[in-house]
Structure 1
Amino acid sequence: MLFLHSEFYEQITMSCSKDYKMYLGDDSMKKIYILVFSFIISSLILSNQYTSLAKAEEVEGEFSLLTYNVAGLWDPVSSSNPDKNTILISPKLNNYDIVLVQEDFNYHSDLIEKVDHPYLSSHSGIMGFGDGLNRLSRFTFTDFKREDWNDCYGIFSHANDCLTPKGFSFARHEVSDGVFIDIYNLHADAGGSQEDKDVRKKNFKQVLSKIDQWSTGNAVIVTGDFNSKYKAEGEVRQFADAGFFDAWADIENGGVIPGIGESGDRIDKIIYRSGDFLQLSVNDYAVPNEDFLDSNGNQLSDHKPVSAIFQYHVSNIPQIGNFNMNKSIITNANELLDGQKVWKVETGGFEDYRQNINFKVEENPKNKAYTFSVWLRADDEHTITLRLRNKEKTEGGQQSFTVTTDWEKYKITAPFELDSESLSLFMYPAGFDFGNQGYVYASGVQLTENTQLLDSPNDFMKDYSSHWYKNTNVEKTIEPSPVAENTTVNKVTPIDVNDSIYQHTEVDPAGKTYTFGIWLKADQPHNSTIKIQNANYSESNSKSINVTTDWQYFEVIKEFTNPSDMVTVLLWPGKYNGTTDSVYAWGASLIEE
């Protein structure tokens, strides 16, 4: 077992609680903690937990974050009154899940005196020795480290930046089980001279370089005292150019980063980006200055606090921008839809190719039903195609839609019965035909996984226990399935006008919502009926659907309230009490929401 050097141990501060910090002066206890934490570090490295988001389940949540320059310089040289004010700040920090502070130098013990956060960073030292950057968190964090700026300007002038080792700190916060966000806290060079501006540009370039090194593919929040506004060319704008969003801009400025020479933002900032599999968005932004005043109504620091509420969503697929491009092009559209980035997806101009973007999910889809959904709009109405299939191209679904100039959510659902190594998602921005050209705007892509409750979702010939019951003719055909390759489908023809095909599933649906879905097409357009009901027919929902000569996915949803011993799904190919028109059927699914 590798022991960490005690000085490095004090710096790493893995999830260090206040109780733990009480033992830092005890050498025997320190060695025990070093041994324990060394084992944890080794375990984390061996388990490679930080690269497993691609296999994570769908997870959503939110947390609050505060950034605050607490003006904790030695009181005689501070522009605030930290000797009295810092202890007043302390309990007010408890309203936030994660707190990042700057200038926490000489009064650190006062700052943490009344906080109830279980995880704190270690104090780096008083003015002249420490960087003043600390964090308090309700979530465990690991890999905590500090880095000084490579450049500073001003010793006894120009804000005296070189008198203390300013820089930035980093830690990886686990905001939910297996959900990690990399959070950086910085304090940039101050001052308004050209030399100060040049140094700030280098400061931001340095932290962006470390983000590229330490946080590749991860969700990132950068916060702190930037001493810079977007109106300055080449300074904090570097983050916007690198794909970061600003919490203030999202909530207060319509999602727009101010242009060069424009004002409105603050030097204390909360900026962020999503990761490959973790989508970050901001639900609220505030400057809660009224909560940080003394009894006379005076500010407790020479800076105002800045806060945000973040929402996160972990998916088993990445954002559109990380899809594979197959003769198509993906570019950032520089706009947001409900806090999520919008991408422009366009064909590449190839005349003899089905141009698409795609992504492969490395998991076995057997006995599951998946829904692939995405929000889309276009500058002109045209056809797009979504496809979902397994590696062997034997199961899945494909459907074309007309995208309009308004945002709308499009989705396809398909059940999978067979073993496979993976399943793949495809979007054809100009439809499935060869050579079509066009583009769409896309956002909010999701892949939702559910347990498939129906047996034999693609073969309606089976009629033994727990499979399909029928008083219709079911025959094999050479008609291709919605996957369009390697598979054919059944044709279901009523013998009489009220004939159906149905399947029972033994579950108690009370208090739950179920969705019955199925893929259908016909030789001639006509109406069919699908239905979902409980065992004694006391609760049901049916839908009349227009089946055309193109494959379409249809579904009917029912929320049940009464106990029962089964759920039954039914299909009348020629509509209930309608005709004896037949349908081609594929991909039946029953999903519990």
Structure 2
Amino acid sequence: MPRSDQVLYKLPRSSRKLSSTAHSISFRIYLTLNTSLEQPRYPLFEMKTILLSVLLPALASAAVTSGKFTALSFNVAGLPSLFQSNDVNGTKSENAKQLGTYFSKYGYDIINMQEDFNYHAYIYETDNHAYRTATSGGAAIGSGLNTISTHDWVDFTRVKWSRCSDASGSDCLTPKGFTFMRWNPADGVYVDFYNLHADAGTEDEDETARNSNLQQVADYIDTWSTGNAVVVMGDTNSRYTRAKDTAIRVFKSQNSLADPWVELEKDGVYPTTGADALLCDNPSSVQTCETVDKVLYRGSNVATLKAESFVYDGGKFTNTDPKYLGDILSDHNPILVNFTWSLSASLRQSQFSGGPHGTWFNDLPSIPSSLAASVITFSGAERLDAVALELKDGTSFSHGGTGGTKVSLTLDSGEYWTETKLCTGQYNSHTRNFYIKATTSTGKTLEAGTSTDSCQTFTAPDGFAVVGFMGQAEDEIDQLALVYAAY
């Protein structure tokens, strides 16, 4: 509490929300005043102005280096009731409205839904998440995969399975598959999220198709998520105990993904293949049983991810209609995982500039332990054609095409690339990077391409400098982010 000769001032609410990445930073300023209003020790307005002018910019620019988020995976049983009742009481439209209301109430940071087909609009009617994917259509048209979130993303993509089976049902009737996005919970923090719904059934053809589905995701991760933090969520229709469900384990062996259910509820021990199924009630009051719905994850060299808790969350999604009070709203247990993340003390990345076109590249896995850039090289003309960087140990990175005029800058000892201006524009209906300008710690600059009226400036965190790149490119640099290292 302030002393009797102090007056406590709080900033206006609009001033307390200093950064979208920091969510909100609230603080209090104590102004020491003489209790005599006639003769204040310091003029109140002058002191308040001085303090705000010093503190606000510093706090607004303070980097957020850790955080947490909640992730829910939920098969919402949205197939047309004419074809599938899902053994759920009540009308599916009203049940969907209740689900949307619950999503708003609990405010989970990211919710990945499966079977969000014909009652999608009812969920969105009562949900209030700021960011949502547009439906790909009802059953027989769309995949039923949608995401709602408290944070934005880039590079959203829908991918259809390359193989399906109707041996046990009608999996080939609708274009099931998976979605991909780079989710952006804070400045310079990205997590590649995958939402999937695999082939159902236990006939041999079903098993073959399902294993193909999961292998398709694993291979996609190797191509499009190299060097990145990853979370895979969804209805895998797989069990670790089922002998023929071999591909569910490929995420661990091929992609180094962990299962928080195994980590937190099974003491790190995966169920034995061929053992009896560990069936769950719905809703489940225990966490050690196994469902076909999964959440899998890994961190990166930039952002460490840790699963803090795992729970089958079905008890929080029950019917509120007096006729069906307490009944389930879906035939699947939703899975809730609480994650924490923290940024590396030695490696960081910038936000992305440009559009999701071209082939993914990421220098992070190849960056050596001894970090210092020696030569910066750009190529450009009407647009930005290529970027390259050579480190002092001889490691070099180059991305893009062969066009444009090449320019280079050799850095002096103790000189670092610390600021980057990138400008984008449209070419052949694609957003691309048209211009780049690098500024070093000594004020030297290097630029290439053609500037536009859509530009961003990225400044390395204090004590960090550019040592690599990530993004997408073919003949030109479609998308670009900077990799920073501490010096």
> How would you bin the TM-score normalised by the shorter chain?
0.5 to 0.7
Contact (CA 8 Å) 1:58, 1:315: kept in 2 or not? no
- Residue 241 of structure 1 and its aligned partner are, at CA, apart by 1.2
The letter for the 1-side match of 2:130 is P
Q: CA deviation at 1:280?
A: 0.7
- Residue 248 (str. 1) matches residue 261 (str. 2): yes
Cα distance in 2 for partners of 1:179, 1:201 equals 31
Q: Paired residue for 2:173? A: 163
Alignment correspondent of 1:106: 118
Counterpart for residue 303 of structure 1: 332
C-alpha change, 1:419 and 1:308, in structure 2 (3 Å) is: same
Does residue 1:261 correspond to 2:261, yes or no? no
Which of the residues 153, 165, 181 maps onto 1:153? 165
1:134 CA drift (Å) = 0.2
Where does residue 74 of structure 1 map in the other structure?
80
Q: How does 1:83-482 map to 2 (within 5 A)?
A: 83-94=93-104, 95=106, 96-154=108-166, 157-233=167-243, 234-242=246-254, 243-262=256-275, 263=278, 264-295=289-320, 296-317=325-346, 359-362=369-372, 419=414
Task: Name structure 2 gaps, 5 residues minimum.
Answer: 1-61, 279-288, 349-367, 375-391, 394-412, 418-460, 464-487
Residue 317 of structure 1: CA displacement?
Answer: 3.6
- Distance, in Å, in 1 between the alignment partners of 2:154 and 2:329 is 31
**Paired residue type of 1:203:** N
Deviations 1:348-407 (A, max 9, x none): xxxxxxxxxx8224489xxxxxxxxxxxxxxxxxxxxxxxxxx89xxxxxxxxxxxxxxx
Please state whether the residue corresponding to 1:147 is helix, strand or coil. Answer: strand
Task: Give the deviation of 1:261 after TM superposition.
Answer: 2.6
- 8 Å Cα contact 1:69/1:101 also seen in 2: yes
- For residue 13 of structure 2, what is the aligned residue in structure 1? none
Report the count of equivalent residues: 281
Counterpart code for 1:249:
V
Question: For residues 265 and 314 of structure 1, what CA distance do their matches in structure 2 show?
Answer: 32
Q: In the TM superposition, what is the alpha-carbon distance from 1:282 to its structure 2 partner?
A: 0.5
Residue 89 of structure 1, CA deviation: 0.6
- How far apart are residue 420 of structure 1 and its match? 6.8
450 and 163 in structure 1: CA distance in 2 versus 1, 3 angstrom threshold: closer
Question: Between Structure 1 and Structure 2, whose CA radius of gyration is higher?
Answer: 1
Deviations 1:120-168 (CA, angstroms, capped at 9, x unpaired): 00100011100000000110111111011000000xx512101111000
What SS does structure 2 have at the residue aligned with 1:76? coil
Q: Which amino acid aligns with 2:185?
A: V
Identity %: 37
Q: Distance in 2 between matches of 1:266 and 1:363?
A: 49
Report the AA paired with residue 419 of structure 1.
Answer: G
Deviation of the 1:421 alpha carbon = 6.5
**Secondary structure at the counterpart of residue 159 of structure 1:** coil
- Partner letter of residue 121 of structure 1? T
For residue 153 of structure 2, what is the amino acid of its counterpart?
F
Q: Distance in 2 between matches of 1:71 and 1:253?
A: 28
- Indicate conservation of the 8 Å contact 1:57/1:315, yes or no: no
The question of whether the paired residues in 2 share the 8 Å contact of 1:140 and 1:173 is answered with yes
1:247-270 residue CA offsets vs partner (Å, 9 max, x unmatched): 211221123332323444321111
Partner residue in 2 for 1:425: none
How big is each residue's C-alpha offset from its partner over 1:442-491, in whole Å with a ceiling of 9 and x where there is no partner?
A: xxxxxxx998xxxxxxxxxxxxxxxxxxxxxxxxxxxxxxxxxxxxxxxx
1:194 deviates by 1.2
SS state of the match for residue 202, structure 1?
A: helix
CA separation of 1:249/1:274 partners in 2, compared to 1, >3 Å: closer, same or farther? same
CA distance in 1 between counterparts of 2:126 and 2:332 reads 21
Report the Cα offset of residue 232 of structure 1: 3.3
Gaps in structure 1 of 5+ consecutive residues: 1-55, 320-357, 365-390, 393-417, 423-448, 452-593
CA distance in 2, matches of 1:170, 1:278: 19
Q: TM-score, normalised by structure 1?
A: 0.45
Higher RCO (C-alpha 8 Å, min separation 6) = 2
Shift of 1:303: 0.7
Q: Distance in 2 between matches of 1:310 and 1:224?
A: 17
Aligned to 2:440: none
Provide Cα deviations, 1:74-121, integer angstroms capped at 9, x if missing partner: 112222342331111111112211000000000111011111111100
Counterpart Cα distance in 1 of 2:101 and 2:76: 13
Distance 1:420 1:160 in 2: 62
Whether contact under 8 Å (2:301, 2:344) holds in the other structure is no
Task: Tell me the SS of whatever aligns to 1:191.
Answer: coil
**Residue 85 of structure 1: SS of its match in structure 2?**
helix
How far, CA to CA, are the matches of 1:180 and 1:164 in structure 2?
A: 31
Instruction: Report the AA paired with residue 277 of structure 1.
Output: V
Contact 1:287 1:307 in 2 (8 A): yes
Q: Shift in Å at residue 58 of structure 1? A: 7.2
Whether the aligned pair in 1 keeps the contact of 2:307 and 2:339 (CA below 8 Å) is yes
Q: What letter corresponds to residue 259 of structure 1 in structure 2?
A: T
TM-score between both structures, scaled by the size of structure 2: 0.54
Cα shift readout 1:223-276 (whole Å, capped 9, x = no counterpart): 000000112352211112121101211221123332323444321111011122
Mapped to 2, the partners of 1:117 and 1:241 lie a distance apart of 35
1:113 maps to amino acid: E
Q: Which runs of 4+ in 1 moved over 3 A?
A: 316-319, 361-364, 418-422
CA contact (8 A) 1:57 1:316 kept: no
1:363–1:307 distance in 2 versus 1, CA, 3 Å: farther
